[in-house]
Amino acid sequence: MAVLRTLLYLLVYPGLLFLFVYGTFSEWYDRKVYARLQNRMGPTHTGRFGLLQPVADFFKLMAKEDVVPDAADKGLFNALPAFGLAVVATSGLLLPVWNFSLAAPGWTSFSGDIIVMLYLLSLPTLVLFLAAWSSTNLFSTIGGARVLTMLFGYEVPLFLAVLSPAVLAGSWRLAEIAAFYQQRPALLLVNVLGFLVALVAVQAKLERTPFDIPHAETEIVGGTFTEYSGKKLALFRLTTDIEMVVASGLLATVFLGGFPGGALLGFASFVIKTLFIIFLLSLIRALTSRIRIDQVVSFAWRVLAPLAVLQLLATILVKGFLS
Amino acid sequence: MLDKLARWSRIKSPWILHLNSGACNACDIEIVDALTPRFDVERFGIILRATPRHADVIIATGPVTRQMKDRIIRIYEQTPNPKFVIAVGACAMAGCVYRGAYNVMGGLDQVIPVDMYVPGCPARPDAIIDGVVKLLGKL
Amino acid sequence: MTDAELIAKLQADLGGRIEIDNPGPRRLFLKIAAPDLVPVVTRLRDAFGVVFLSTISGLDLGATFEIIYHFSTPTQDLNVRTEVPREAPRVASITPLIPGAILYEREIQDMFGIVVEGIPDGRPLLLPDDWPAGQFPLRKDWHYDRPVEVIPGGES
Amino acid sequence: MSFNIPIGPQHPALKEPISLRMTIEGEVITDADIRLGYNHRGIEKLAEERNWIQNIYLMERICGICSHSHATCYVQAVERLMEIAPPKRGMYIRYLVSELERIHSHLLWLGVAGHEAGFDSFFMYVWRDREIVMDLLEMVSGNRVHYAINTVGGVRRDLDETQKARILDGIATLRKRSEYYLHIGANEPSFVARIAGVGLLPKEQAVALCAVGPTARASGWDRDVRKEDPYAVYDELEWQVATADTCDVLGRVVVRIKELLESYNMIEQMIKKLPAGDIAVRAPRKAKPGETVSRYEAPRGENIHYIKANGTEKPERLKVRAPTLGNYAATVFMLKKGFVADIPLIFAAIDPCICCAERVVTLVDGRSGASSLVSLSDLRRRALDRPANALVKGKAEWPF
């Protein structure tokens, strides 16, 4: 029975199938919201309301000829998409969505899994850099360099912002953090500042518009993905979609008080909360223009980092006041 | 069953690459115009892509000038396989006003095989969309 | 200032070296000999504030090439005209005086084969890389064979 | 270490084939070289084989966005050669369509500037409103672009009452939107961050490099052909030249939106003062020998046509200098100190119409330019201590 549950857990619910379906759904949702904000219709003619558009994109790319530039070193070039997908999918498993018991920390939810989650979420950025570096196209090398420069910008504020609610809850286990805030919803207001900082930092991690310099279409052509086509490009796009889902899931767990209730009710609150966060991300994407790489780093260190430290200070004060 | 799925997905998400081979950029503006709210091609899943690697359909305008000739051939070869070419505007079809100039090859089909011609000087955005939809219907 | 005043001042200042005619309001054509192009342009630039060079037009008059420098000031449109023999088409470059002129000098070099001495950067500009040397398209006596068009998959 | 990145001839930022070769170090551009000729169609050679009427259609197809300005400039020159004066109503309609084209061209550029900076929502909104002007132009002339409304000796289509009313209320909605865009263009923090202090062209450089149009006017040099050489209708309307003195892309955005607002009230004055009478006068087939230079203020700058006639029905020589040509020397100068991320923005700031200027040459770099351009080693030194001259941004309103 336990084997069946783990298999189900691995392959179906927060596993590959669910992440694939929910990733494509969130890409459709993001494109639709982005288009509506621009007074446009967005994808409508593939399936009901264009729901199947990302699926159509995915299968079309899978069916396309796969061109490997001879200058690139083949091994790395071919392995990276699959590796990126694997990393993001495993980080999806740590979300406290189902099949965890608060008392006994099993492998699905153990003390310190928030640190593992953050580490796994920052791996795709390195995969992106390696992808850019291994396809020896000039534009992608510049794109790769930009990916890393940005990494130093938003990584520290993101860690600080995400960890401050954990400090208040007094535990490193996602399930316990969520349970803590479910009992005292008033404390969520303390973390609003951290929520904003984390939102902007996740926008930078996912390289979306204000920070989409690494694959800025108008400047360096395709950026990191210039040389990729066919199946590898499909896998990379899927990795970015799933990364968006997992990152917004993480924010929902930490800042919006997790997913109360059993399997069914938990799933409903998971969908609602992540869609709310993806809506906020699309809002940021529609309202701002792309800023330069030096501005990103100066913005991150001059604005995001101090706010995150302020948030940590507030949390420690509240914790002292509570105990 | 697999190639039925491939065919469906190819019809439903044609990614286009815009290529100007020395045109007077009236047709180019009309192509970009097709992306804006009034004609919004994203409804059909059409997205403007930046590199030939990501593109399925090459939308080309302009009578091919001699300087651009070998660049166009190189871009055509870079595009991965199931690819189509749409010649937009009278220039791309047969050189329009510049037919017979010393520096112009006179039309896109002198250089790369073309699948669909969209007439008009410039071709209206709705004519361009009609061209893309008809091309996909032929699939 | 009006055309008449400018003509009077030009006559007084540059005297014998120029012939002026005034076909329309605000249009002045100055004809000068090739060698004193640079002195006249320097004089115009310093004394008359003629700084803006719109373009340089080349003309093939059969025996000679005519080069017209179109200057424009807020009040008039001055066009300085020189002639250069067809056998040795050489003219001095005015880029040191007016930096914007390099664009048009390279063009007349391309199109007419007029050699501009002292041009800082004489690379060919407009014509494609594989253009045969010695062919100058805008000369009247230059003829070309139309590229034959083949209708794909059918009779040409 | 220094990269040498090629941009073009096919590049998403450039709607037209032009090849830029940049040597950059890190993110700073140290050397720029533009190679043209991809768009060279040999129009001047073709023009010598066509008679006066056929040439109008060739002139229009020099450039898609400013087709009417090339046709008008050409037709003015021919009318001066043939010494015929088109009737007042014909002139009013001709310059009404040219102002409508200026609106459509500036709105187009505003959207493209937003797109280059990555601000796609601004691009979508501006281009949605541009459709209003495109409908007006289609109503007046029958085609969205290449209106072919000019003929030698006047205009080919007349305006009736309903069209005038539609134009007026189209302009009214556009004026409301343009004020909103002026507000966004100048105050939206992330957009201003991208365009303030970018692509700097001080006034003396603009004068030395013969920059034209909004690029020169944004550096405080108010040269506008409609004021200096008013050819028909412009001296009967009251309007003023829009200038700004911030010498950067932000200034060019502001200048172009101000010019939009000027065009709106110019059109309203034209429609009120539209005189009665016929719209064209018959033109002879042959032109008397002679030569003329005609100047016109195209949306991008000053447009010059030089025509020499030899008594036959075909021009002996037709020389066209499009506005973008004048701005190329300035562009290479501006690119020198920019960031890689600024290349499309600086390049789009002069609103390049590469197909207009395909006869253009370009400046290579400091070493080969005239004495007024600094030598390469000096440029490299100045480019590398870019942060030192970062005070440039101090003057510009810096939101972060």
Query: Is B42 close to A55, i.e. CB distance below 8 A?
Result: no
Point out the domain boundary residue: D321, D347, D365.
Answer: D321
Point out the domain boundary residue: D321, D351, D371.
Answer: D321
- Of A48-52, A105-109, A171-175, D390-394, the poorest mean pLDDT is in D390-394
Predicted complex ipTM exceeds 0.95: no
- Tokens for A141, please give them: 């090398």
Q: Domain for residue D248, yes or no?
A: no
- A139: contact with D, CB 8 A cutoff: yes
Range from D183-192, D271-280, D342-351 that averages highest in pLDDT: D271-280
Q: How far apart are CA D224 and CA D350, in angstroms?
A: 16
Q: Domain for residue D207, yes or no?
A: no
Q: Which residues of C touch D364 (CB under 8 A)?
A: 121, 123
- D127: contact with A, CB 8 A cutoff: no
D103 and D53 in a single domain? The answer is: yes
Best of A219, A225, A284, A303 to substitute, by most chain D Cβ atoms within 10 angstroms, is A219
Q: Domain for residue D191, yes or no?
A: yes
- The four Cα atoms A268, A272, A274, A276 give a dihedral, to 10 degrees, of 180
Q: Which residue has the higher pLDDT, D141 or A136?
A: D141
Q: Which residues of A touch D190 (CB under 8 A)?
A: 210, 288-291
Q: How far apart are CA A46 and CA B9, in angstroms?
A: 9
- D343: contact with A, CB 8 A cutoff: yes
Q: How far apart are CA B19 and CA B50, in angstroms?
A: 10
**C29 beta partners:** C21, C79
Picking from D37, D46, D62, the nearest residue to B24 by CB comes out as: D62
Question: Which structural domain range is residue D155 located in?
Answer: 43-198+228-234+262-321
User: Among all residues of chain D, which has the CA nearest to that of B24?
Assistant: D63
Strand bridging mode C90-92 / C115-117: parallel
pLDDT tens digits for range D57-98: 888 888 888 889 889 999 988 988 888 888 889 999 999 999
Q: Which residues of D touch C52 (CB under 8 A)?
A: 207, 210, 223
User: Among all residues of chain B, which has the CA nearest to that of C148?
Assistant: B105
Q: Which residues of C touch D302 (CB under 8 A)?
A: 54, 72
- The 3-state DSSP class for residue A98 equals coil
Query: Is D16 close to B97, i.e. CB distance below 8 A?
Result: no
Chain A nearest CA to B109, separation (Å): 24
Chains A and C in direct contact, meaning 3 or more beta-carbon pairs closer than 8 angstroms: no
Q: Which residues of D touch C23 (CB under 8 A)?
A: 290-292
Q: Which residues of D touch A294 (CB under 8 A)?
A: 27, 339
Q: Domain for residue C136, yes or no?
A: no
Does residue D371 carry a pLDDT above 50?
no
Q: Domain for residue C137, yes or no?
A: no
Best of B64, B65, B66 to substitute, by most chain C Cβ atoms within 10 angstroms, is B66
Average pLDDT, chain D: 77
Picking from A39, A222, A228, the nearest residue to B37 by CB comes out as: A39
Chain B nearest CA to A273, separation (Å): 27
Q: Domain for residue C106, yes or no?
A: yes
Instruction: With CA atoms as reference, report the closest residue to D316 among A182, C102, C139.
Output: C139
- Tokens for D162, please give them: 């309903």
Instruction: With CA atoms as reference, report the closest residue to D333 among D373, D361, D296, D383.
Output: D373
User: Among all residues of chain D, which has the CA nearest to that of A216?
Assistant: D118
Question: Which structural domain range is residue C106 located in?
Answer: 3-117
The per-residue pLDDT for D392 is 38
Which residues, at least 6 apart from A93, have a Cβ–Cβ distance to it below 8 Å? Answer: A9, A10, A14, A15, A108
Q: In B, residues 103-122, which contact A (CB 8 Å cutoff)? A: none
Q: Which residues of D touch B27 (CB under 8 A)?
A: 64
Total residues found in chain D within this entry: 400
Q: Domain for residue C91, yes or no?
A: yes
Q: How far apart are CA D263 and CA D256, in angstroms?
A: 10
- Tokens for A63, please give them: 């069916």
Picking from B6, B36, B53, the nearest residue to A222 by CB comes out as: B53
- Tokens for A43, please give them: 């994808």
- C25: contact with D, CB 8 A cutoff: no
pLDDT tens digits for range C9-58: 888 887 777 888 887 778 888 888 888 888 888 888 888 888 888 888 88
- The 3-state DSSP class for residue D276 equals coil
Q: D260 burial class (0-12, 13-18, 19+ CB within 10 angstroms)?
A: buried
Q: How far apart are CA A138 and CA A160, in angstroms?
A: 35
Instruction: With CA atoms as reference, report the closest residue to C66 among B103, D304, D306, D76.
Output: D306
Strand bridging mode D154-155 / D150-151: antiparallel
Chain D nearest CA to C8, separation (Å): 21
The CATH class for the domain spanning B2-133 reads alpha beta
- Of B13-27, C123-137, D229-243, D352-366, the poorest mean pLDDT is in D352-366
Contact D2, D24 (CB under 8 A): yes
How many structural domains is chain C composed of?
1
- D45: contact with C, CB 8 A cutoff: yes
Q: Domain for residue D57, yes or no?
A: yes
Chains B and A in direct contact, meaning 3 or more beta-carbon pairs closer than 8 angstroms: yes
Instruction: With CA atoms as reference, report the closest residue to B15 among D285, A64, D381.
Output: A64
Q: Domain for residue C61, yes or no?
A: yes
Q: What DSSP line would sit under D64-95, residue for residue?
A: STTHHHHHHHHHHHHHHHTT----HHHHHHHH
Q: Which residues of C touch D362 (CB under 8 A)?
A: 103, 125
Can you list the positions of beta strands (E) in chain D? 2-7, 19-25, 28-35, 150-151, 154-155, 290-298, 301-309, 315-321
**D319 beta partners:** D306
Which residue, chain included where needed, has tokens 């010494």?
D83
Does residue D368 carry a pLDDT above 80?
no
Does residue A222 carry a pLDDT above 70?
no
- At CB < 8 Å, which residues of chain C contact B? 127-131, 137, 144, 146-147, 149-152
User: Among all residues of chain C, which has the CA nearest to that of D323?
Assistant: C54
User: Among all residues of chain B, which has the CA nearest to that of C137?
Assistant: B102
Q: Which residue has the higher pLDDT, D390 or D361?
A: D390
D275 and D364 in a single domain? The answer is: no
pLDDT tens digits for range D194-236: 888 888 888 888 888 888 888 888 888 888 888 887 777 888 8
CATH number at residue D56: 1.10.645.10
CA torsion through residues A246, A247, A253, A258, sign: negative
pLDDT tens digits for range C80-91: 888 888 888 888
The per-residue pLDDT for D10 is 61
The per-residue pLDDT for D66 is 83
pLDDT tens digits for range A163-213: 888 888 888 888 888 888 888 888 888 888 999 999 999 998 888 878 877
Which residue, chain included where needed, has tokens 């020499």?
D308
Contact D262, D268 (CB under 8 A): no
Q: What is the average pLDDT across D279-298? A: 86
User: Among all residues of chain A, which has the CA nearest to that of B43?
Assistant: A43
Domain ranges of chain B: 2-133
Q: Domain for residue D218, yes or no?
A: no
Q: Domain for residue D216, yes or no?
A: no
pLDDT tens digits for range B61-98: 888 887 788 888 888 888 888 889 999 988 888 888 88
Best of D14, D21, D27 to substitute, by most chain A Cβ atoms within 10 angstroms, is D27
Q: In A, residues 208-237, which contact D (CB 8 Å cutoff)? A: 209-210, 212-213, 216-221
Q: What DSSP line would sit under D222-234, residue for residue?
A: ---HHHHS--SSG
* Long-range pairs for C142-149: beta carbons < 8 A, 24 or more residues apart: C144/B102, C146/B100, C147/B104, C147/B105, C147/B106, C147/B110, C149/B94, C149/B95, C149/B106, C149/B107, C149/B110
What does the angle CA C86 – CA C92 – CA C96 come to, to the nearest 5 degrees?
A: 155
pTM of the shown model: 0.85
Q: How far is CA A256 from CA A168, C146, D121, in A?
A: 14, 72, 29
- Of A174-188, A222-236, B22-36, D350-364, the poorest mean pLDDT is in D350-364
Q: Domain for residue D304, yes or no?
A: yes
User: Among all residues of chain D, which has the CA nearest to that of B16?
Assistant: D12
- D13: contact with A, CB 8 A cutoff: yes
Q: Which residues of C touch B67 (CB under 8 A)?
A: 128-129
Please count the residue pairs, one from chain A and one from chain D, whose beta carbons lie less than 8 angstroms apart. 77
Alpha helices by DSSP H, chain A: 2-7, 16-37, 53-62, 74-93, 113-134, 138-169, 174-183, 192-205, 231-255, 263-287, 293-299, 305-322
Best of B51, B56, B57, B79 to substitute, by most chain A Cβ atoms within 10 angstroms, is B51
Chain D nearest CA to B5, separation (Å): 31
How many structural domains is chain D composed of?
2
- Contact partners for chain C, using 3 or more CB pairs closer than 8 A, are B, D
Does residue D380 carry a pLDDT above 50?
no
D172 and D151 in a single domain? The answer is: yes
**Amino acid code (one letter) for A23:** G
Chain C nearest CA to D66, separation (Å): 18
The per-residue pLDDT for D249 is 86
Chain B nearest CA to D175, separation (Å): 20
Contact D133, D101 (CB under 8 A): no
Q: Which residues of C touch B98 (CB under 8 A)?
A: none
Q: Domain for residue C138, yes or no?
A: no
Query: Is B53 close to A31, i.e. CB distance below 8 A?
Result: no
Chain C nearest CA to D97, separation (Å): 25
CATH number at residue C25: 3.30.460.80
Q: Domain for residue C36, yes or no?
A: yes
D49 and D106 in a single domain? The answer is: yes
Q: Which residues of D touch A37 (CB under 8 A)?
A: 121
Point out the domain boundary residue: D321, D349, D366.
Answer: D321
Chains C and D in direct contact, meaning 3 or more beta-carbon pairs closer than 8 angstroms: yes
Chain D nearest CA to A99, separation (Å): 43
Q: Which residues of C touch D325 (CB under 8 A)?
A: 55, 103
Q: Which residues of C touch B107 (CB under 8 A)?
A: 149
The per-residue pLDDT for D360 is 29
Reported confidence tier of residue D358, pLDDT bands at 50, 70, 90: very low
Instruction: With CA atoms as reference, report the closest residue to A168 among A148, A188, A153, A150.
Output: A188
